[in-house]
Structure 1
Amino acid sequence: MLGFAQGALTYIIPFLLVLTLVVTVHELGHFLAARAFGVAVDRFSIGFGRSIAKWTDRAGVQWRIGWAPLGGYVRFAGDANAASVPDGDDLEALRREIVAREGVGAEKRYYHFKPIWQRAVIAAAGPLANFVLAIVLFALLLTAFGKVIYPARVDGVVPGSPAERAGFHVGDVVVRADGRRIDSFLDLRQVVFLRAGAPTAFVVERDGRKLTLTATPQRQTVSDEMGGQARVGVLGIESRESLRDRQVRRYNPVQAVGGGVEMTWNILDTTVYYLGRLVSGQETADQLGGPLRIAQASGQAAKEGAAGAGDVGSMLLGAGVALLNLAAVLSVGIGFMNLLPVPVLDGGHLLFYAYEAVARRPLDARVQAAGYRVGLALLVGLMLFATWNDLQQLRVFKFLGDLLS
């Protein structure tokens, strides 16, 4: 029981730290954009549940820290409608209430009476803040530590594999794949995993020359670093990292920002590519992960970052660096997900604002409510599917079966 509790803490605490950072920055993006346009804000909360600390600033915003560190939220004044897009009747009733309470012109401070373009900027500011956070974290890590590079050298070619058919030779060094720079075998694997059945161009260095080889990864079941299994694309080459090949690419602050933008873009590009193949039926849902896999990835990142440290300080530094890197990756994912045109997400609000801009009136409240329910059902269904997928990928059911047999 003690071991189980220690294991749970190993995964839960890093997960909560990463999630709270990413979600709080997302909400801070909404908050800062709203304040820039003079929107009245009632509350900004870090965490949920009963507050363990709270205070009110000069602008009348209540800042609070909740006991449950599961993210945070910002609440605009007068924002009682769950979809945050009331229709014409709701707006008129809200206007009368505000004028009666605060006087003529006071409604201009409220979110729903701001111009459409300002509301759209405020809605988009959350996802944008996530992308900025990812770029900043990547840039900080690149500035402080550089990027460790192990050339993706081909040390072996599996007989009959796509790599052999494409003409890969032992000693080749893969430098680009599908147009993306390859700095390590891990970079190469991330490209290949999502391209099962898709002809892909690889640029290799061989005897001082650069050659372009085209190979089509084939789908196979492999074990991942988390102990789970997934059916992904495999090329059929082997690579063994050697310390003598280890290089560290150093970045000045300007180069680091460029590197952060490139890393953030690569994650976005990979996500869009995967979803496109998933919708078209060319890819499986094995890579869709939920909170369980995120929690496990957080714990695994912390443990791997702390591994080999000679003292407590080095251990904490290594774990912190690994978690910041994970937070950057997760921040890109949350930013992208919130831009999807699904009601209850920021992208859904932007969709409603687009309709309002064209029709010159807000969408009917009943339609908004129906969209809200459908969007919520979609999100809950996706979360349940991702959690079920996590349980299967992590072989939890097999573990329980073995335990009970």
Structure 2
Amino acid sequence: MGGAPLWLVLLAFIGMLGPLVFFHELGHYLIGRWFGVGAEIFSIGFGREIVGWTDRRGTRWKVAWLPLGGYVKFVGDMNPASAPANPNEVPEALRSQSFHCKPVWQRFLIVLAGPMTNFLLAILIFAAFFSFVGSPLTNVVGAVQPNSAAAQAGIRKGDQLLSVAGRSTPTFDDIFNTVALRPNEKVDVLVRRGGEEQSFAVTLGTAPVKDGNRTFQRGLLGVAPDLQLREPVSPLKALPMAVEYTWRLTTTIVDGLVQLVRGRLPAEQLGGPLKIAQVAGEGASQGMLPFVGLVAMISINLGFINLLPVPMLDGGHLLFYAIEAVRRRPVSPRTLDWAFRGGLAALLALFLFTTFNDLGSFGLWDRLERLIG
């Protein structure tokens, strides 16, 4: 798995995913408690319990052996996916604490709190970085690579890159992420130079990116930021900057999905748990700051993925609650059952597909082919 030793990969993966899952589930738990919902189980991981304890409210806090997620099982939940149990099976004394007996708007907020906590964690991490390390919020060109796409188009040092391919680029991260998804594409680059805005038609270059035994192409503009503009900012400025930065990274995820659906990015680039573990190990091997920055990035991805309207995910529950609010009655148990089954099948298929991709990037299929051949 890349250059990091296996022990570091495992430790980094658990050290990253465990806290992210904990904060995600803590969001559900705290808002649930606020609305008077009882929690039976708070689990980090799935499967057999490794260690745990029961608090004075009767909640079982535990760590399970499979560290690929977690859940809060509220009173009235039939299973960890929050499928509603038969109301008659909930004791009368506990119905006031039952999740599914609460108004739909309260259930909506309890479910929404999990992904929002992941975004909040990323915002706090970025705000700390901006306050103590410095802000990356600059789009001023510090250097132009000779013979690059930028140089051939006429972009110069000192230019401020306002947008690329119609996407606003207030930071070099935005510039990199937008360009990387568009190898060999012809795009418009809006530049501010000497107080005036100019538009350049740029045919982006391409550069190979090696991912294990696979090589992908990413777009290349050929510019570097002016690092002299990077300096720490006050906490009062850092927080709104971190909110904006998190939002922009989220829109980059959406842009990547759009490019994937349009076929401009190969599906082989989709990674799963094994790839996350590899990246976590590589981040940890570079030091604490890169690792914490990676935690913030993965936290944004975790929050975003959970908001997708897929049954079994938080977004699927939110969709059903929205439908319930419009119809003034819940979706039928039969419909929910089939939706959860379909959602589970889709998630399992995605898990298998991304694991297949991960093993391919590690060279397993090539080695098997040579062995069989």
Q: Would the TM-score normalized by the shorter structure come out above 0.5?
A: yes
For 1:182, the equivalent position in structure 2 comes to 171
Corresponding position: 1:371 with 2:353:
no
Distance 1:9 1:384 in 2: 24
Determine if contact 1:221/1:229 at 8 Å carries over to the other structure.
no
Query: Which of these residues, 252, 263, 269, is aligned with residue 251 of structure 2?
Result: 269
Instruction: Select between 392-401 and 346-355 the one with higher mean Cα deviation.
Output: 392-401
Percent identity of equivalent pairs: 37
For 2:146, the equivalent position in structure 1 comes to 156
Query: Which of these residues, 133, 136, 139, is aligned with residue 145 of structure 1?
Result: 133
Distance 1:274 1:361 in 2: 37
Determine if contact 2:144/2:151 at 8 Å carries over to the other structure.
no
Query: Which of these residues, 208, 228, 231, is aligned with residue 249 of structure 1?
Result: 231
Amino acid across the alignment from 1:222: P
Structure 1 residues 62, 328: CA separation in 2 closer, same or farther (over 3 Å shift)? same
Distance 1:5 1:144 in 2: 29
Q: Figure out how many residues of one structure are paired with residues of the other and give that number.
A: 367
Distance 1:246 1:402 in 2: 51
| CA RMSD, Structure 1 to Structure 2 (Å) | 3.2
Pairwise CA distance, 1:67: 4.8
User: What stretches of structure 1 of length at least 5 have no aligned partner?
Assistant: 305-318
Amino acid across the alignment from 2:359: L
Amino acid across the alignment from 2:100: H
Alignment of 1:73-152 (within 5 A): 73-81=71-79, 83-86=81-84, 90-91=86-87, 93-94=88-89, 97-99=90-92, 102=93, 106-147=94-135, 151-152=141-142
Alignment of 1:1-400 (within 5 A): 7-81=5-79, 83-86=81-84, 90-91=86-87, 93-94=88-89, 97-99=90-92, 102=93, 106-147=94-135, 151-158=141-148, 161=149, 163=150, 167-169=153-155, 171=157, 173=159, 175-177=161-163, 178-183=167-172, 188-196=175-183, 197=185, 199-203=187-191, 205=193, 211-217=198-204, 220=206, 222-224=208-210, 228-235=214-221, 237=222, 246=228, 248-304=230-286, 319-398=287-366
Amino acid across the alignment from 2:204: P
Amino acid across the alignment from 2:250: L
User: What stretches of structure 2 of length at least 5 have no aligned partner?
Assistant: none
Pairwise CA distance, 1:43: 1.9
The structure that has the greater radius of gyration is 1
Pairwise CA distance, 1:246: 4.9
TM-score (norm 2): 0.86
Determine if contact 1:152/1:175 at 8 Å carries over to the other structure.
no
Amino acid across the alignment from 2:105: W
Amino acid across the alignment from 2:144: V
